[in-house]
Structure 1
Amino acid sequence: MSINLSKGQRIDLTKSNPGLTKVVLGLGWDTNKYNGGNEFDLDASAFLLHEEGKAKSEEDFVFYNHLSAYNGGVEHTGDNRTGEGDGDDEQIKIDFSKLPPAISRIGITVTIHEADVRGQNFGQVSNAFVRLVDETTGREILRYDLGEDFSVETAIVFCEVYRSGTDWKFQAVGSGFTGGLSALVRNYGLS
């Protein structure tokens, strides 16, 4: 049975799910129907963070132009440019067994492509969620629905998956940024 989380909640992943090594983070959203003249293109990304909470190189950033890091330790399954249909709009896969010990946290984010140019923000996005699925069994372990708390933000940290000793945990974050992808890149230590 899947667990529904609220903003700020944390949950153990590997301790309470023995043998869990491969997960899929499914991210989804709908765009509100308005006539702004431009299509929406939302993009999921993963920032692989070291102990000090920062990415050290481009290898630590997985997105639509860099789909895999650490020999498949984190893999983006591809860009969905429309977000149409039900279910996950984009997915990021994590194989905990392939991640080097130096990676202590993975920030999972979604940005609106060219949001400033297109006059778009997360106030025009609804039903945003992230769910975590055991890749081996297909069982949904948890889900976090972001709600409608955002108005001017163009980038959101949906969640973080982090190392706690030898185990991995999940935190529902739901933190918004203005400035799109470049704001997140700077936040996580890249330029």
Structure 2
Amino acid sequence: MGITLKKGEKINLTKGNPGLKNIKLGLGWDINNFDSGYDYDLDVSVFMVGESGRVERDEDFVFYNNLKHISGAVEHLGDNRTGEGDGDDEEILVDLKLIPNHIQKIAVAVTIYEAKERRQNFGQVSNSYIRVLNSENDEEILRYDLGEEFSIETAIVACELYKYNGEWKFSAVGSGFEGGLEALCKNYGLNV
């Protein structure tokens, strides 16, 4: 089992793991016993951000309709529409050596599909987490439990991966947004 982080904490991924090139981000959650009349469909999205602090090219946004970045550096392994079962609900593969030079950080977010129409929010979700594994051996490097402080939010930036002084670092962000995926896209400079 890896290191457990709290909101706001940062860790150097590559310094303590020399030779780390390929990681898997596993995200999981459970739905509380609350019936809005609809299934819960949580979606993971990846915003590959440039120097401007925004997504500079449409292809730098990886989500359920664009599962693989053109460089091959980031691949979304598919949309789990129910969150049922044990283990990670959605996974993202990241090849650190293939990340294009114009990318400064990678923000990983979770949204609730059609949250407003379905009257759903992250206050109805529990046991949510993100973990980082070494893809070579599936060893867990770290885990960040997002907590239960979200009540009206329909989108969460879970974490950021960023390069600093030649090393890859992980930041446990845990920042909530209202407005779902659309609000996140606007935050990162994408037109929807």
Q: TM-score range by the shorter chain?
A: over 0.9
Determine if the alignment matches structure 1 residue 22 to structure 2 residue 3: no
**2:156 corresponds to which residue?**
156
**1:34 corresponds to which residue?**
34
**1:46 corresponds to which residue?**
46
Please list the CA deviations of residues 16-56 of structure 1 after superposition, one character each: whole Å capped at 9, or x if unmatched. Answer: 11000100000000010112110000000100001121101
User: Do 1:22 and 1:135's aligned partners in 2 also have CA atoms closer than 8 Å?
Assistant: yes
Q: Which amino acid aligns with 1:21?
A: K
Q: Which amino acid aligns with 1:79?
A: D
CA distance in 2, matches of 1:2, 1:50: 29
Superposition deviation, residue 102 in structure 1: 1.1
**1:103 corresponds to which residue?**
103
Number of residue equivalences: 191
User: Do 1:14 and 1:169's aligned partners in 2 also have CA atoms closer than 8 Å?
Assistant: yes
User: Do 2:129 and 2:146's aligned partners in 1 also have CA atoms closer than 8 Å?
Assistant: yes
CA distance in 2, matches of 1:69, 1:141: 24
SS of 2:160 mapped into structure 1 = strand
Determine if the alignment matches structure 1 residue 186 to structure 2 residue 186: yes
SS of 2:45 mapped into structure 1 = strand
Please list the CA deviations of residues 70-115 of structure 1 after superposition, one character each: whole Å capped at 9, or x if unmatched. Answer: 3310000000001000110001111011111111100000000000
**1:60 corresponds to which residue?**
60
CA distance in 2, matches of 1:35, 1:152: 16
SS of 2:185 mapped into structure 1 = helix
**2:175 corresponds to which residue?**
175
CA distance in 2, matches of 1:36, 1:149: 20
Structure 1 runs of 4+ with >6 Å offset: none
SS of 2:34 mapped into structure 1 = coil
CA distance in 2, matches of 1:159, 1:71: 21
RMSD: 0.7
Superposition deviation, residue 169 in structure 1: 0.2
Give structure 2 stretches of 5+ with no counterpart.
none
**2:13 corresponds to which residue?**
13
Map 1:112-151 to 2 at 5 A: 112-151=112-151
CA distance in 1, matches of 2:102, 2:165: 12
SS of 1:141 mapped into structure 2 = strand
CA distance in 2, matches of 1:161, 1:168: 7
Give structure 1 stretches of 5+ with no counterpart.
none
Superposition deviation, residue 159 in structure 1: 0.4
Give identity over the alignment, percent.
58
CA distance in 2, matches of 1:126, 1:86: 14
User: Do 2:71 and 2:100's aligned partners in 1 also have CA atoms closer than 8 Å?
Assistant: no
SS of 1:109 mapped into structure 2 = strand
Superposition deviation, residue 67 in structure 1: 0.3
Q: Which amino acid aligns with 2:63?
A: F
User: Do 1:70 and 1:99's aligned partners in 2 also have CA atoms closer than 8 Å?
Assistant: no
CA distance in 1, matches of 2:94, 2:165: 18
SS of 1:97 mapped into structure 2 = helix
CA distance in 1, matches of 2:74, 2:125: 26
